[in-house]
Amino acid sequence: MSPEQSETPANGDGAGPADSPSDVAAPGFDAITRACQSVHADREPQHYGTVVKFSVGGPDPLDGISAYPVDEPTPHWHLVTYGFSELYEPDDVDEKPEFGPRDADEAEHSGYGFELTMRLTRPAEQKDPPLWVLDFLQNLARYVFKTGNAFDAGHYLDLHGPIGLDESSEIGAVLFADDASLAPIDSPNGRVRFLQVVGITVDELRAIQDWDAAGMIELLRDEGELLLTDLDRTSLTKSDARRAEIEERTAAEGSSTGVLFVDVVGWERDAPGGGPAGVTLTLGALGVRDFVRLLRGRTLHGRRFQLAGPSSGVIVLAAKSPAFRVDDCDGLVLEIDERTANAMLETLVPRRGTYEWSRLPGLTLVVEPSEIKDRDGRVVDTIG
C-alpha cells in the first residue's frame, strides 16, 4: 500500500484545536479533540480538514487530521485522525460514512472503533507536517473504507517501498500499536481507541512474521516509549545484540502470525469429482515466502496457520501424519507433520515452478511469479 496524492487543505488558518463543523452536531469530533487537549493542553495543532466529504464524492475518507508539534524527548509531530469513528449525530447528517458491517459484540464501538495516530520526527525548525504523511494517513483510510477491514494492535502492512513519496528511507512497512499517551475514550457515539501507526523497516517486518508483533513493539519501546517514526533510523536487526535476541526468542517462541493475506492463492481439483487424489495449489512467489516462513514458525511449533487471498485460501494444520482434504467449510486443508515440513523447507523456494512431495501424493504446488508495482501501478520488479 502506498500513499496517493490527495487534497487536505487547512481548516481555517490551520492553527488551533480542531473545531467541529458549526452547522451540525459533531459529538464524536469534539470527544477526539478533548482527548487530544488532555495530552497537548499547551500546544496548538495544525489541523487539516477536507473540503468535499468522502460520503458525497470527495477523495479523502477522513474529515480531518490534527498535527501537534512536540519538542520532547525528540522534536516530532503527533498526528491524530478524525473519521474512522462516527463524528456526527446520526440524525443530523443525511450523508454519513459507511463503516461496514459490525458484529454484535462490536455494537458499542463508534464507527470502526478507532482513530489512527502517528508520531513522526521533525526538524526543530519545521512549521508544518510534510504533506506526504497526511496523504499516507488518508490512503490508509481509503483501504479501510474500501475493504471494510479494520486495523488492530499487532497488525502490520508491507508498503513495498519507502513510506513517504520521494523519501529515501529504510522505513518500508508499518506496525500498529496502542498509542501510549491517548487512552480509549467513550464518545457519545461509542467507544474509540487510538491506534498508533509505527514505521518499521522491511527487516523488522520479516522478523515480526517469523516471530511476534507484540515482541517487536516491546523492543521498539525499549528504544523509545513513544514509538517515533524516524525516516533516518536503521533496522534493529543491524544491532548484533538485538538481532541475537530476536533470533533466540524466535527459535524458542515460534511465530504468532496465524493468518497472512497474500495476493495469489488458489486451488482446484485435478479432475471433476476428484478427491484428495488430485489437487493443485497455486501460490505467488511472495506467498511462497510466507508459506515457508510459517512452516518454520508455526507448523514446527505445533500450530496452525492460514494463507488467505481475495477469493480463496489454504489452511495448514500441524499433524502427526501428512494428508490433505477438501472441506466444505474450510476449503483446502493441508495436514503437515514435522518430517514433511522439513522436506518442504529443503526444496520449496519462491521461484516459478511445480513442486511435489512423496509424503503428500496427489498434491501439486504451482508457484507463479509475483509482480511488485510502484505507486502508479507500474510493475517495477518481478519475484520468482
pLDDT for 6: 36
Specify the pLDDT at position 316: 97
Asked whether the beta carbons of 216 and 175 are under 8 A apart, the reply is: yes
| Domain match, 108 and 139 both | yes
User: Residues 56, 187: one domain?
Assistant: yes
In a domain? residue 325: yes
pLDDT at 51: 79
pLDDT category at 14 given cuts 50, 70, 90 is: very low
Q: What is the DSSP string of 166-210?
A: T---SEEEEEEEE-SS---EEETTEEEEEEEEEEEEHHHHHHHHH
Q: Which domain holds residue 52?
A: 10-250
Residue 72 lies in a domain: yes
> Which of 231, 250, 269 is the endpoint of a domain?
250
Number of domains, the chain: 2
Q: Write the pLDDT tens digit of every residue in 123-154.
A: 988 999 999 999 999 999 999 998 888 999 99
pLDDT tens track for 52-102: 777 667 889 999 999 999 999 999 999 999 999 999 987 654 455 566 544
pLDDT bucket at 375, cuts 50 / 70 / 90: low
Q: pLDDT, tens digit, for every residue of 245-273? A: 999 999 999 999 998 888 899 999 876 55
**Is residue 378 assigned to a domain?**
no
Task: Calculate the alpha carbon distances from 165 to 134, 159, 171, 367 in Å.
Answer: 11, 11, 12, 32
307 in the same domain as 200: no
